[in-house]
Amino acid sequence: MKNKKNTGSNPPRTKKGDTTRVLIRLLRYMTGSGSGSKFTGAMVLQVIGLLALITIPHFMGNAVNTFSGTDSTPAALRIWALLAMGAGIIYVAMNFIATRSFASLAANALSRLQCHLFDHMQTLSLSFFDSQPLGELMSRVTNDTESVALFFESAVSQMIRAVIQISMIIIVMLIFNWQLALAALTIVPVMLFLTGIIERISTPAFASLQRELGELSGFQEETISGNKVIISNRRQQWAQETHEKLAGGIFKIGSKAFFASLFQFPLTNTLIMIQIIIVLLVGGIMVVEGSTTLGVVISFIGYAGLLSTPLSEIANLSSTTLNAAAGARRVFTIIDEEAEITDAPDAVPFEFKGGRVEFKDVDFSYVPGSRVLRHNTFEALPGQMIGICGPTGAGKSTIINLLTRYYDIDRGTILIDGQDLKNLTRDSLRRQIGVVLQEAFLFTDTVMNNLKYAREGATDEDCIAAARLANAHEFIMRLPQGYETMLTERGANLSQGQRQMITIARAMVAQPKLLILDEATSNVDTRTEKLIQEGLQHLMSGKTSFSIAHRLSTIRPAAKILVLREGEIIEQGSHAELMAARGFYFSLYMSQFKGRGPAAVL
């Protein structure tokens, strides 16, 4: 079953290359979620202001006719001048208020889009993140939303004003003098034709530019994260050359995209000058023939000038708009992504009844047709510790991912206390499962807040008690501010062992009913491992637990050990039973404790 979160404005899916559909979808973030009335109000103010603006050339034309007439008087000129000034003041006032409203709408729209994107990413399955490079995702969250931000902040209000202004001026010109109107509008089809050609060039170029930026961001994130590997292997020159190559590709594509779009601005200005010349030429002939007045020609020159401004704005904002459309396409690709793992319509909360776990003939594949697990069956009784071992790639972590329902199985059944995982809500299931991973991940926050992260409503006393049981309290109290010490990214200002002890304490704060340990004691010294093991014993006490380990001494006390090879559980039993069977586990154990004598082996 597929399910997708809907947050506010969530229009239909975007087709690739459909720039208009993408822009309309973006605009709905400005008009949706209760902002429609404010948007309409800003549009009305914009129309009132533009109505005042387009009366100014008419008043100027009447002033010219009055000045050139035989009954010209200073009072009549003053009236037309005051009317023009009054119209200008109304335009400025209405435009100011409308611009403020559009600015507020733009900020809210960007916030809604970013929240929609981030919130939707929290609903996606683990498989989505497994298939997406971190740098690429970060590029979509930062670079692509930044291009959309420019569109919301500068392009939307100006484009709307430009379209309204052009439409109103064309109507007014056709009403006053259709011959001069046609003369003034002769360049519009030419401009639209050239704009279409430029868009054909710019749109794919901007799409390529956003993709290249994503690749560059991914490379930067990867090389910065792996700086120790690069330095230790003396690969700085390779990193520099690769970065320059990627940046050079962006330069070439960006040059093409921005040249095509920016060329539209001088082209538009040239066509506008031609438009004014045409109006003067046709208008002059008509004045000589007596079919119109000089004041009307002056008015039309003013209208041509007012027509040129929005046309120039549209040309100037084309690069911003096309770039935003390219970025929005990539953002909507994520928003349109559906979670692979969802709750069934009739899913019920998990009811803990002791912690009995059963795998019955379970098959699983990350990629259809390529099975990772085959015919796996085992049982874990309440309170038992289950060890999981096997070569790299045997499927150890995959079993854990299925138990927490990060993925759904292809075939078979997984039961916890007799309840099928597929019939349980994910949140209620995962709330009862504590996980301690090999890589201890800590957030950039205080030690106390990192501990409280495990359970909403946890108190300081709960966290301190858990830290004591995890053997973390003493070293935390030696930190500069104790539990209020601010940790750097991923807890880099702590040692590996200290980070692991905090994650064990965090798992205790969560008060889980079942426990998963994934190489929780690897990469630490012997003394620290002893402290961690003591903390884990407190954590595992009375709980059904699963412990993945390469160091077999870690899982030797387990009630049952599952031995995996090539996706199948080929042996299971206690340490003594497996050693007595002298099978694959025996070979693994002997390879690790070779030369230590029978006492060490058995």
Distance CA 279, CA 185 (A): 9
User: pLDDT of 411-428, one tens digit each?
Assistant: 999 999 999 999 999 889
Residue 293 pairs with which residues in a beta bridge? none
User: SS3 for 480?
Assistant: coil
Return the pLDDT at 581: 93
Average pLDDT on 1-20 reads 47
| pLDDT classification of 344: cutoffs 50, 70, 90 | confident
Average pLDDT on 82-101 reads 88
CB 398 within 8 A of CB 364: yes
Average pLDDT on 470-477 reads 89
Return the pLDDT at 416: 94
What are the domain boundaries of the chain? 19-335
Q: What percent of the chain has pLDDT over 90?
A: 17
Q: Identify the residue with better confidence: 192 or 184.
A: 184
Return the pLDDT at 81: 80
Query: Quick check: 190 pLDDT over 60?
Result: yes
User: pLDDT of 260-293, one tens digit each?
Assistant: 556 666 766 677 777 778 777 877 787 777 777 7
Average pLDDT on 452-474 reads 88
Distance CA 286, CA 280 (A): 10
User: pLDDT of 164-175, one tens digit each?
Assistant: 888 888 888 888
Return the pLDDT at 185: 77
Lowest pLDDT segment from 52-56, 198-202, 380-384, 551-555: 198-202
User: pLDDT of 69-86, one tens digit each?
Assistant: 555 567 777 787 888 888
CB 101 within 8 A of CB 42: yes
Return the pLDDT at 290: 76
| DSSP string across 388-435 | EE-STTSSHHHHHHHHTTSS--SEEEEEETTEEGGGB-HHHHHHTEEE
287, with CB counted inside 10 A (0-12, 13-18, 19+), is middle
CATH of domain 19-335: 1.20.1560.10
Q: How far is CA 246 from CA 215, 240, 249, 270, in A?
A: 8, 10, 5, 37
User: SS3 for 209?
Assistant: helix
Return the pLDDT at 2: 39
Average pLDDT on 369-392 reads 91
Q: Identify the residue with better confidence: 11 or 388.
A: 388
| pLDDT classification of 564: cutoffs 50, 70, 90 | very high
Tokens linked to 530: 């002893």
Query: Quick check: 602 pLDDT over 70?
Result: no
Q: How far is CA 553 from CA 435, 486, 501, in A?
A: 20, 35, 19
- H or E segment and range at residue 257: helix 236-262
Return the pLDDT at 484: 92
Q: Identify the residue with better confidence: 258 or 487.
A: 487
Average pLDDT on 486-504 reads 82
Give me the sign of the Cα torsion angle 124, 128, 134, 135. Answer: negative
Return the pLDDT at 542: 83
Which residues lie closer than 8 Å to 69 by C-beta, 6 or more apart?
none
DSSP 584: H
Average pLDDT on 5-20 reads 49
- pTM of the shown model: 0.67
Distance CA 361, CA 205 (A): 51
Q: Identify the residue with better confidence: 221 or 578.
A: 578
- H or E segment and range at residue 91: helix 74-123
Strands 373-380 and 357-364: antiparallel
CB 558 within 8 A of CB 477: no
User: SS3 for 442?
Assistant: coil
| DSSP string across 288-340 | HHTSS-HHHHHHHHHHHHHHHHHHHHHHHTHHHHHHHHHHHHHHHHHHT--BS
Return the pLDDT at 423: 92
Distance CA 87, CA 79 (A): 12
CB 510 within 8 A of CB 351: no
User: SS3 for 140?
Assistant: helix
Distance CA 378, CA 428 (A): 23
Distance CA 504, CA 472 (A): 9
Please state, rounded to an integer, the average pLDDT across all residues of the chain: 80
Q: Identify the residue with better confidence: 562 or 294.
A: 562
Longest dimension (CA), the chain: 126
* CA atoms in the 13 A half-sphere facing the CB of 91: 15
- H or E segment and range at residue 67: helix 36-68
| pLDDT classification of 358: cutoffs 50, 70, 90 | very high
Return the pLDDT at 421: 92
Return the pLDDT at 598: 39
Query: Quick check: 401 pLDDT over 80?
Result: yes
Q: What percent of the chain has pLDDT over 70?
A: 82
Query: Quick check: 155 pLDDT over 60?
Result: yes
Closest CA to 559 of 568, 548, 570, 572: 572
| pLDDT classification of 530: cutoffs 50, 70, 90 | confident
| pLDDT classification of 192: cutoffs 50, 70, 90 | low
- H or E segment and range at residue 27: helix 19-31
Return the pLDDT at 359: 94
Return the pLDDT at 167: 85
Tokens linked to 363: 């098959």
Position 42: which residue type? Answer: A
